Structure 1
C-alpha cells in the first residue's frame, strides 16, 4: 500500500481520491465458521480498508484536502445470513468511515460510503447464471432490476467530486429501493395490490388504474 502511495505522489504530486472497493466472502453458518475464514475476511474487508485509508489519508491531511469513498453494502444493516463475518466487516467499514470523517474533517478530508445491493459483477456472475435466481432477486427490488457496475460508479463519482463537498460521514444506498421493500413483500390475501383494489371497489370507489391504460405490476 505504501508503494502505491509513493507511486501516486511521484506521478501526480498529491492524492485527491481514494476508493476502497475490496471485498471477499466465505460462506458458512456462524456455528461452523472456521476462525481462519473469519480472520481472512476481516483482514481484507476491514483491515485492508483501514490500511489504505490511513496511508493515503496521511497525504490528504498534509495537502489539506481529499475524499475517501468506501464500498460497503446494505448487508451492513441487515445480516447477510450464512455468509460468515461478511456483514460484520461491512458494518465495521461504515463506522470506520464515520470515524475518519469526524477526525479528518478539520483537515479538509471527507469520508463516505456507498451501499450497493444485488449488482452484477464478476464475483456475483455465478448467481445470475440461473434465470430463476435473477427473477427471484429482481422481485425484491422496487425497480425490478439487478444493479449494474455503472450504477455504483455513478454514486462513487458523486461522492468523489466537489458536488458532494458538504457530505461526509454518510452513506448512499444504491440498491434500487431494496431497503424499502419490507412492507411490500409482506403477504396479504390475494396479493397486496389486489387487496387494496378490492377494498376500494367494495367502497364504490372507481379506480383510476382500471381506466388509465397503465399495466399494473403484479405481486409476482
Structure 2
C-alpha cells in the first residue's frame, strides 16, 4: 500500500504559478517546490526573480518568467516561454490577479476590461493552453485562485467580484469537460489575507476591526496558510477531487 504522505509528493512535475513574484503566489510556488516540483515562477510587471532565487537557494528548482497578463496575448507569451524552457506543464496555478476599487457608477470601462482580462480571461487562456499540453499525457492539475467574492458581492469592487464569480463557474465548467481526460480543475477561495492587495483594508482601523470580528480565527491569513490547500489540489492526493471551491478563510464563510 502506498504511503499516504507520498501522495503529496510532486517529484518530476513541472508547475506554473502565475503571479508568484510575491504574496500568495510566492508561498504557493515555494510549497510546490518543497514537495519536489520544478516551478515556473511568473511576474506580471517584472520577472519573479526573488521567488525563484529563494527556492533555488533552499535546494529547490525554479525558473523566473515575465509576461503581462493584462494584454490579450500575455497568457500565450507566458506559456510559450515556459514550454520552451521546461518542455511541459503538469500543474497550473492561476493565481495572478488585480483589483480596482471605486464606486460602481464611476468605474471606467478600461479598468473593468483590465481586471476581467487579468482575473478571468487570462486564466481561461492559460487553462486552455495547459489542457492541450496535458490531455495527450492523460493527467494534469489546474488550480484557480477564487475569492470570498466568488460567493459574496463585495463593496466598491464590481469588476473584481464579477471576475471571481466567473472564475468559480469556470472552474466547474472546465472540471466537467476535462475530468474524463485525467485533468482535475479546482479552486481555492482565500479569505482575508495580509497581502499588498489588502493593505488599505488593514490600515483602515474601522474596517480592520469589522473584518477581524467576523473571522472566527480572529486573525488575517498569512500567505503560508494557503500552502497546504495548494499542495493538496496539485498532488495525487486530490485525484478524485474536481470542480470544487475550497475556502481557506479562517471560518469566514461558516460564520
Normalising by the residue count of structure 2, what TM-score does the alignment of the two structures yield? 0.66
The answer to whether residue 139 in structure 2 is matched with residue 68 in structure 1 is no
2:154 is matched with: 80
Q: Determine the structure 1 residue equivalent to 2:100.
A: 26
Q: Secondary structure at the match of 2:89?
A: coil
Give distance in 1, aligned partners of 2:206 and 2:111. Answer: 30
Please state if 1:154 is matched with 2:228. yes
Residues 122 and 42 of structure 1, relative CA distance in 2, 3 Å threshold: same
Equivalences for 1:140-219 in 2 at 5 Å?
A: 140-181=214-255
- Superposed CA deviations along residues 92-143 of structure 1, whole A, max 9, x for unmatched, are 1011111111111111011000001110112223432355543332111011
Structure 1 residue corresponding to 2:163, chosen from 83, 89, 94: 89
User: 1:44 offset after TM fit, Å?
Assistant: 1.0
TM-score by length of 1: 0.76
Aligned counterparts of 1:126 and 1:82: Cα–Cα separation in 2? 13
Which of the numbers 126, 130, 135 marks the counterpart of 1:56?
Answer: 130
Between the two proteins, the alignment pairs up a number of residues equal to 181
Q: Distance in 1 between matches of 2:112 and 2:196?
A: 23
Match of 2:192 in 1: 118
The answer for the alignment partner of 1:218 in structure 2 is none
Separation of aligned partners in 2, 1:60 and 1:67: 9
Local SS of the residue matching 1:81: coil
Matches of 2:82 and 2:99, distance apart in 1: 29
- The match for 2:176 is 102
Question: Higher Cα Rg: structure 1 or 2?
Answer: 1
Task: Name the one with the larger strand percent.
Answer: 2
Asked whether the 8 Å contact 2:185–2:242 carries over to 1, the reply is: yes
Q: Distance in 2 between matches of 1:129 and 1:81?
A: 17
Which runs of 5 or more residues in structure 2 are unaligned?
1-74
Do 2:178 and 2:184's aligned partners in 1 also have CA atoms closer than 8 Å? yes
